[in-house]
Homo-oligomer: A and B are copies of this chain.
Amino acid sequence: MPKIKFLPHNKEVTVDDGEILIRAAMEAGVHVNASCGGEGLCGKCRVIIESGSVEGGITERLSSEDQEKGYRLACQSRVTQDLVVRIPIESEIDAKVLNMQSTPRRTARIQEMDLDELKEKELFTPPVEKKYIELPPPTAQDNLADATRLVSHLKLNHDEHRLVVDLPVIRKLPDVLRQEDFRLTATLARPVQAGRKTRVINVQPGDTADRNYAIAIDVGTTTIYGQLVDLISGKVLAQYGDFNGQISYGEDVISRIVYAEKPEGLEKLHEVVVETINRVIKECTKRTGVEADEISTITLAGNTTMTQLLLKVNPRYIRRSPYVPASTLYAPINAASLGLALGDHVTALVYPAVSSYVGGDIVAGVMGSGMYRTDELTLFMDIGTNAEIVVGNKDWLACAACSAGPAFEGGGIKFGMRAAKGAIEDFNINPLTNEPMLITIGNVRPKGICGSGLITMVATMFEMGVIDSQGKFNRDLDTPRIRETDGVVEYVLAWQDETQIDRDVALTEIDIENFIRAKGAMYSGYMTLLSEVGMGIQDIERIILAGGFGSYVDLEKAMIIGLLPEIDPDRVTFVGNGSLMGAKMSSLTNRIRKDVVEVTRKMTNFELSETSSFMDNYVAALFLPHTDLNQFPKLKARLDMRKEMLQ
Residues of chain A whose beta carbon lies under 8 Å from any beta carbon of chain B: 138-149, 164-167, 170-171, 173-175, 195-196, 311-314, 316-317, 321-331, 333, 353, 355-356, 607, 610
- Most B CB within 10 A of own CB, among A174, A327, A329, A353: A327
**Distance between A472 CB and nearest chain B CB, rounded to angstroms:** 36
* Given contact pairs A322-B139, A324-B138, A610-B141, A317 touches B146 in the complex (Cβ within 8 A): yes
**Contact between B314 and A148, CB atoms less than 8 A apart:** no
The 10 A-B pairs of least Cβ separation, nearest first, read: A147-B327, A143-B322, A145-B325, A170-B327, A140-B322, A145-B328, A174-B326, A138-B324, A138-B322, A171-B313
**Contact between A167 and B314, CB atoms less than 8 A apart:** no
**Contact between A328 and B147, CB atoms less than 8 A apart:** yes
* Given contact pairs A167-B331, A311-B167, A355 touches B325 in the complex (Cβ within 8 A): no
Q: Of all chain B residues, which has the CB nearest A311?
A: B167
* Given contact pairs A143-B324, A324-B146, A328-B147, A316 touches B174 in the complex (Cβ within 8 A): yes
Measured between alpha carbons, how far is A317 from B165 in the docked complex, in Å?
18
**Contact between A607 and B143, CB atoms less than 8 A apart:** yes
Q: What number of copies of this chain does the assembly contain?
A: 2
Measured between alpha carbons, how far is A326 from B140 in the docked complex, in Å?
16
Additional A-B contacts beyond A165-B327, A174-B324 (6; CB < 8 A): A143-B324, A144-B324, A165-B329, A167-B311, A174-B314, A174-B316
Q: Which of B147, B167, B195, B607 contacts A195 (CB 8 A)?
A: B195
**Which B residues are in CB contact (< 8 Å) with A142?**
322
**Which B residues are in CB contact (< 8 Å) with A329?**
147-148, 164-165
- Most B CB within 10 A of own CB, among A164, A174, A316, A322: A174
**Which B residues are in CB contact (< 8 Å) with A138?**
322, 324
Measured between alpha carbons, how far is A328 from B149 in the docked complex, in Å?
11
What are 14 A-B contacts defined by CB distance under 8 Å?
Answer: A139-B322, A140-B321, A140-B322, A145-B328, A146-B325, A146-B326, A147-B326, A167-B313, A167-B333, A170-B313, A170-B327, A170-B330, A171-B311, A171-B313
**Contact between B324 and A171, CB atoms less than 8 A apart:** no
Measured between alpha carbons, how far is A326 from B165 in the docked complex, in Å?
11
**Contact between B327 and A146, CB atoms less than 8 A apart:** yes
**Which B residues are in CB contact (< 8 Å) with A353?**
145
**Distance between A142 CB and nearest chain B CB, rounded to angstroms:** 8
Q: Of all chain B residues, which has the CB nearest A175?
A: B314
**Which B residues are in CB contact (< 8 Å) with A141?**
610
* Given contact pairs A167-B311, A311-B167, A331-B166, A326 touches B143 in the complex (Cβ within 8 A): no
**Distance between A395 CB and nearest chain B CB, rounded to angstroms:** 22
**Which B residues are in CB contact (< 8 Å) with A322?**
138-140, 142-143
**Contact between B314 and A171, CB atoms less than 8 A apart:** yes
Measured between alpha carbons, how far is A139 from B144 in the docked complex, in Å?
59
**Which B residues are in CB contact (< 8 Å) with A143?**
322-324, 355-356, 607
Q: Which of B167, B316, B327 contacts A145 (CB 8 A)?
A: B327
Measured between alpha carbons, how far is A483 from B192 in the docked complex, in Å?
76
Measured between alpha carbons, how far is A313 from B175 in the docked complex, in Å?
11
Q: Which of B145, B317, B321, B323 contacts A326 (CB 8 A)?
A: B145
Q: Of all chain B residues, which has the CB nearest A164?
A: B331
**Contact between B174 and A317, CB atoms less than 8 A apart:** yes
**Contact between B324 and A145, CB atoms less than 8 A apart:** yes
**Distance between A321 CB and nearest chain B CB, rounded to angstroms:** 7
- Most B CB within 10 A of own CB, among A139, A174, A317, A326: A326
- Most B CB within 10 A of own CB, among A170, A173, A321, A328: A170
**Which B residues are in CB contact (< 8 Å) with A331?**
164-167
**Which B residues are in CB contact (< 8 Å) with A174?**
313-314, 316-317, 324, 326
**Which B residues are in CB contact (< 8 Å) with A356?**
143
**Distance between A345 CB and nearest chain B CB, rounded to angstroms:** 14
**Distance between A317 CB and nearest chain B CB, rounded to angstroms:** 5
**Which B residues are in CB contact (< 8 Å) with A324?**
138, 143-146, 149, 174
Q: Of all chain B residues, which has the CB nearest A312?
A: B171
**Distance between A133 CB and nearest chain B CB, rounded to angstroms:** 16
Measured between alpha carbons, how far is A148 from B603 in the docked complex, in Å?
14
**Which B residues are in CB contact (< 8 Å) with A167?**
311, 313, 330-331, 333
**Which B residues are in CB contact (< 8 Å) with A147?**
326-329
**Distance between A454 CB and nearest chain B CB, rounded to angstroms:** 33
**Which B residues are in CB contact (< 8 Å) with A333?**
167
**Contact between A326 and B170, CB atoms less than 8 A apart:** yes
**Which B residues are in CB contact (< 8 Å) with A313?**
167, 170-171, 174
Q: Of all chain B residues, which has the CB nearest A610?
A: B140
Measured between alpha carbons, how far is A312 from B170 in the docked complex, in Å?
10
**Distance between A196 CB and nearest chain B CB, rounded to angstroms:** 7
**Distance between A362 CB and nearest chain B CB, rounded to angstroms:** 15
**Which B residues are in CB contact (< 8 Å) with A355?**
143, 145
Q: Which of B139, B171, B175, B328 contacts A148 (CB 8 A)?
A: B328
Measured between alpha carbons, how far is A412 from B610 in the docked complex, in Å?
84
Measured between alpha carbons, how far is A234 from B173 in the docked complex, in Å?
39
**Which B residues are in CB contact (< 8 Å) with A146?**
317, 324-327
Measured between alpha carbons, how far is A175 from B313 in the docked complex, in Å?
11
